[in-house]
Amino acid sequence: MNISPVEQLFTLFNETALTLQEELACSYLEALAETGDNLFQGAILQEELSELAVKRLKKQYSELSLDNFSNEDLRKAFQLVVLKGMKENVQPNHQMTPDSVGMLVGYLVEKFMKKPSFRLLDPAVGTGNLLTTVINHSKKQITSVGVEIDDILIKLAYVNANLQGHPIEFFNQDSLEALFIDPVDAVIADLPVGYYPNDIRAADYQLKSDNEHSYSHHLFIEQSVRHTNPGGYLFFLVPNGLFESEQAAQLHEYLKEHLYIQGMLQLPTSIFKNKSSAKSILVLQKKGENIQQPKEALLVNLPSLSNAYEMDKILRKMESWFQENKG
């Protein structure tokens, strides 16, 4: 029976992570980061391991050469082991953008970004899965930056990027604090939805709330715009009710002042656990000299992504829009 490359890699990542988890008495995700580091460095870095564990790991590591696998195989296998670890240790901020959505974001980035090379920021990078999906599906040269507050997630993102050979610059910090990064040409983000607890920091934002905690997803939008060059594009995964909340009026005004809405693609509810968590992809462009609003925004209600016939019709409609508005 033929085992797929992703299955081979999953087995390697999983079995070596389990060995390290047992030896180091740590969580599965922490052990996964450790084994990823070992694979990248080509050495066993943990000095406290027993002789038996070192022997077992050396045997496991020698069975596969990562040079024989594509970046997408590595990303998909790493994503699967991360998902396994997240199920074992459920935390609200440990979530991953579905693969099909990541590829759709990658398609949009490729269509909107005309330059052969550009700088890309993900201010909520998590494990780096969305960012590396976009990079892997681009024919352009991308210099990228990822910001993440969670220690474990950013270590996994760092390992994920190293295994795929992507030179991504990572910052382990609250993305809504001051970011000391050069301006970027594009932003992608699966926006963290909820209230931002730091009212003092939120006071520095135009989208702060005067009556209650500010919405973190609104502040993430503003922070992203601050660090985007004029004319740059922003691709956000946003809750479907983004423009219906009690703080939506402020957001409307902010968007009108600083951005042009290029498109809104509502994702099929079938890919989310429940309708209340359903999202859309919001595409924005920062205003600047000679930047004009499209004749009409790209508004799409996506069918089930597994429905090839309906998806083909939608993609043809989108191609027509790009020819008319971005040709």
3-state secondary structure 281-320: EEEEEECCCCCCCCCCCEEEECCCCCCHHHHHHHHHHHHH
| 12/142 same-domain check | no
Closest of 100, 140, 126 to residue 281, by C-alpha: 100
Q: In b/e form, how buried is each residue of 241-258, taking b as 16+ CB within 10 angstroms?
A: ebeeeebeebbeebbeeb
- In the listed set 61, 88, 115, which residue is the last one of a domain according to the structure? 88
Q: What is the pLDDT of residue 90?
A: 58
The C-alpha atoms of residue 190 and residue 192 are separated, in whole angstroms, by 7
Q: How far is CA 290 from CA 69, 110, 287, in A?
A: 44, 21, 9
Within a domain: residue 137? yes
Q: What is the pLDDT of residue 91?
A: 61
Within a domain: residue 313? yes
DSSP state of 180: -
Q: What is the pLDDT of residue 269?
A: 87
The C-alpha atoms of residue 13 and residue 36 are separated, in whole angstroms, by 7
- In the listed set 38, 56, 88, which residue is the last one of a domain according to the structure? 88
Calculate the dihedral angle through the C-alpha atoms of 122, 127, 133, 138, rounding to the nearest 10 degrees.
40
| 273/305 same-domain check | yes
Please say whether the beta carbons of 292 and 231 come within 8 A: no
Question: Residue 174 class from Cβ within 10 Å (0-12 exposed, 13-18 middle, 19+ buried)?
Answer: middle
Within a domain: residue 141? yes
| 60/172 same-domain check | no
Q: How many residues does the chain have?
A: 327
| 264/169 same-domain check | yes
Q: How far is CA 63 from CA 12, 54, 56, 76, 186, in A?
A: 9, 14, 11, 19, 40
Beginning with the edge strand found earlier in the chain, give each strand of the sheet holding 298-301 in spatial order: 169-172, 141-148, 117-122, 184-190, 228-239, 279-286, 259-266, 298-301
CATH of the domain at 24: 1.10.150.470
> Which residue segment(s) compose the domain that 69 sits in?
5-88
CATH of the domain at 201: 3.40.50.150
Phi, psi of 155, rounded to the nearest 5 degrees: -65, -40
Tens digits of pLDDT across the chain (327 residues): 689 999 999 999 999 999 999 999 999 999 999 999 999 999 999 999 999 999 999 999 999 999 999 999 999 999 999 999 998 765 655 567 888 899 999 999 999 999 999 999 999 999 999 999 999 999 999 999 999 999 999 999 999 999 999 999 999 999 999 999 999 999 999 999 999 999 999 999 999 998 889 999 999 999 999 999 999 999 999 999 999 988 999 999 999 999 999 999 999 988 887 777 889 999 999 999 999 999 899 999 999 888 889 999 999 999 999 999 876
Helix (H, G, I), strand (E, B) or coil at 189: strand
Within a domain: residue 93? no
The C-alpha atoms of residue 283 and residue 3 are separated, in whole angstroms, by 39
Within a domain: residue 278? yes
- In the listed set 88, 109, 141, which residue is the last one of a domain according to the structure? 88
| 77/129 same-domain check | no
Q: What is the pLDDT of residue 92?
A: 55
| 304/238 same-domain check | yes
How many domains does the chain contain in total?
Answer: 2
Within a domain: residue 111? yes
| 155/300 same-domain check | yes
The C-alpha atoms of residue 167 and residue 145 are separated, in whole angstroms, by 9
Beta bridge partners of 190: 237
Rg from Cα positions in the chain: 21
Within a domain: residue 182? yes
| 106/16 same-domain check | no
| 229/137 same-domain check | yes
| 111/78 same-domain check | no
The C-alpha atoms of residue 8 and residue 14 are separated, in whole angstroms, by 10
| 121/222 same-domain check | yes
Within a domain: residue 129? yes
| 250/320 same-domain check | yes
The C-alpha atoms of residue 124 and residue 292 are separated, in whole angstroms, by 28
pTM greater than 0.85 (yes/no): yes
